[in-house]
Structure 1
Amino acid sequence: MPLKLYKRSGGSIWHYRGTVAGRRIRGSTETEDKTRAQRIAAEREKREWTRHLDGPGSTLTFADAAIAYRQSGKSTRFLERIEDHWKDTLVASITDQAVKRAAIKLYPNAGAATRNRQVIVPTQAVINHCADEEWCPRLRVKRFKVVSKIKQPATLDWVNAFVANSSAHLGALCMFMFGTGARIGEAVSLTWADVDLHARTALIRQTKIGEERLAHLPPQLLAAIANIPSNRKPDDPVFQYLHRENVRQVWDAAVKRAGIAKLSPHSCRHGFATTMLHAGVDVKTVAKMGGWKDVATLVKTYAHAMGDRTVTNVIFGTNLAQPETGKAASS
């Protein structure tokens, strides 16, 4: 039977219900205007017939696609903002160029990497999840070109200077990222329930890849965390910051007091990888200890970080510390 309008007892909003193309349909029009409600119900009925005749992809909206994506247990990082942008846009009408325009609109002042990571990747993931269910075609979007920059990693000397010029919890936060490779978001999310001081471990929830890892706490880091003034309630954040944005201002102030290079919190993660690689730890172990899922990404980002061009001396068996005179060896 076609969709019929009705009001719930004591309510003023029109709802609809009925059977269309063999499917039981019900919902709210979210309006008190009966004429508008009739039009909304008619449009819903039309969509159901289109879906029945042309397949589910013909009426699939991004909102519906996102619900299915969430229900599958996929990562929802950056999803809310793009859901608000696309809303009930038909997936069939979302093209690669439309996604790139959305990225520019949502992040007008951001760089290419941010637009790729926070708009293109999640939008494509939602749609391609539905494609795997055979509800719609797959979407391919060409990424914005990212200009690679050599990133300056934090060093142990830099970290020690930072710690000496910051509060106990801010200094411990810096040392934690440097000592475990944790991202800033992962570090501020750490609670006392995640820390076992006796076992010298911390459970890090890796939001970027949707996994967890148990990190070892070296002695200096263990002492720094143990010395944070706190009641240590299980749900309390260890480093006393509720969000990564709360760190920015106090971080920059500590850097200024220390008179050291202005590095971001993420430079500590870079420092973890660089220091481990320079110490001769194999790349696979570094990736595992620091929570990199893709070893190739680790190599691409950090393999160049040694900086000292004289490292190529080892090819001829020359020590790194040996000065180069520029003169030919005597015969």
Structure 2
Amino acid sequence: MPLEPYLRGDIWWARGKIEIDGQAITGYRRISTGAFTEAGARDWIAEETARQRRRYIVGDAPDALTFDDAIVLYPAKPATAKMLLRVLPELSGRTVSSITPKELRSLGPKLMPACATDTWWREIVTPVRAVINNAHDEGLCPPIRVRGYSRKERMEQDAQRGKQSRVEKTPGDRVWLAKFMGKADVYNAALAAFMFETAARIGQAVQLRPQDLDLMNGRVWLAESKGHPAQWVAISRDMVVKLANLKAKQPRAQIGYQKLPPRVFGYATPTSMHARWRTICKAAGIPYLPPHQAGRHGFYTEMRVRQGLDPISAAKAGRWADSALPDRVYAHTDLDERNLRERARSSQTS
């Protein structure tokens, strides 16, 4: 009999054979569709039927690769490997070609029901898609393209979990920075000022070694980050003085007591400074801002919004390849909404 949907727990499965003109072209199958509704299951069955018929007619060599085999081929970093381990039980033993975009998107609510759609996309869809498309690059399977979660889906999930995602970030500013530096030790004061001035990511900042400083020429060597190459970045005279007065420290490794090579700001990892920053912020009577908001967000908002620098120059100074992206993500207005409404009202009555 042809594939038919049936409910098994909360998930719809499919059972039966796939046929062409009444002739079975597959063995009897019982397989999860990953759908939470009968309509979704029937859509999956239609896609799977079309795929298997195409495979029967054209040939099945590229479709034989399993997801387990595709993972072995993929050079996953530790963080990505951890994400894939969460997904593997759902897709283990499956041929890559049988995994549909709809099924992949449905894994989010199943595996991480309390998380936002952005988290589903980042920790489920993106790593699985990368594994499959890497195998496609090797000529072993078809590629996969997955439609992103819609704004409506994001809002519905936020309502269900009782928490808003994509909360507006608060950027650092000169007032916040001055108060922070007033209570910080020289290392953390210099670190905060360095990121605000250069738009360096925290990972780039903590990696700085004494040999990365060229203070005679007023520049530092920043490591590559998120696709941007390592490069020399100019710094102000005031920053030259700050860095010249820092004695590099050897941080301890996170595991064991081994000391690492000297670092300019004395931290071993990008997360080592959070507890210390919280203490400084509390002492200064200011809200805690993570380094990315205090530095990179603060830099772009300062340049673009407060000082009115054009987007091309601001993006180049902060090493953004796409000048449109920081306007969408890193520029934050300081305008008071109540004041704006009063101005609108007064302009109508004048």
TM-score (norm 2): 0.63
Distance 2:303 2:72 in 1: 39
Relative to structure 1, the CA distance from residue 161 to residue 304 in structure 2 (aligned partners, 3 Å threshold; closer, same or farther) is: closer
Partners of 1:219 and 1:153 in 2: how far apart?
24
Aligned to 1:123: 128
Aligned equivalents of 1:237 and 1:105: distance in 2?
43
SS, match of residue 265 in structure 2: coil
> Percent of aligned positions with the same letter in both sequences?
29
Change (3 A) 1:328 1:220: same
Query: Which residue identity is paired with 2:82?
Result: R
Choose the corresponding residue for 1:192, options 207, 210, 216: 210
1:151 Cα deviation from its structure 2 partner: 2.1
Bigger shift: residues 102-111 or 223-232: 102-111
Q: Is the 8 A contact 1:63 1:86 kept in 2?
A: no
SS of 1:294's equivalent in the other structure is coil
> In terms of mean alpha carbon deviation, does 277-286 or 141-150 score higher?
141-150
Shift of 1:58: 1.2
Task: Name the CA distance, whole Å, in 2 between partners of 1:108 and 1:195.
Answer: 47
Structure 1 counterpart SS, 2:290? coil
Give the 5 Å matches for 1:107-146.
Answer: 111-144=116-149, 145=151
Q: 1:159 to 1:143 in 2, by over 3 A?
A: same
Match of 1:58 in 2: 64
Report the alpha carbon displacement of residue 93 of structure 1 after superposing the two structures with TM: 4.4
What CA RMSD, in Å, does the superposition of the two structures yield over aligned residues? 3.6
CA distance in 2, matches of 1:107, 1:210: 32
Q: Deviations over 1:45-67 (max 9, x none)?
A: xxxxxxxx732441243554563
Q: Which amino acid aligns with 1:284?
A: I
Distance 1:125 1:193 in 2: 36
Secondary structure in 1 matching 2:272: helix
- When residues 148 and 281 of structure 1 are mapped into structure 2, their CA distance, relative to the original with a 3 A threshold, is same
Whether the aligned pair in 2 keeps the contact of 1:120 and 1:143 (CA below 8 Å) is: no
Matched residue, 2:278:
252
Q: Take 2:169 and 2:77, find their aligned partners in 1: how far apart are those partners? A: 28
Structure 1 residue matching 2:328: 3-state secondary structure: helix
SS of the residue corresponding to residue 182 of structure 1 reads: coil
1:1-331 to structure 2, matched below 5 A, reads 54-62=60-68, 64-65=70-71, 67=73, 69-70=74-75, 76=77, 78-86=79-87, 90-100=95-105, 111-144=116-149, 145=151, 147-209=165-227, 211-230=229-248, 235-267=261-293, 268-278=295-305, 279-307=307-335, 326=346
Alignment CA distance shift 1:79-1:141 (3 Å): same
Distance 1:94 1:215, change over 3 A: farther
How far residue 116 of structure 1 moved from its aligned partner, in angstroms, is 2.7
For 1:101-136, what per-residue CA distance to the aligned partner results, in whole angstroms no more than 9, with x for missing partners?
655677676544344334432332332233344322
178-187 or 114-123, larger mean C-alpha shift: 114-123
Task: Work out the CA distance in 2 between the residues paired with 1:92 and 1:229.
Answer: 56
CA–CA distance in 1 between the matches of 2:117 and 2:68?
23
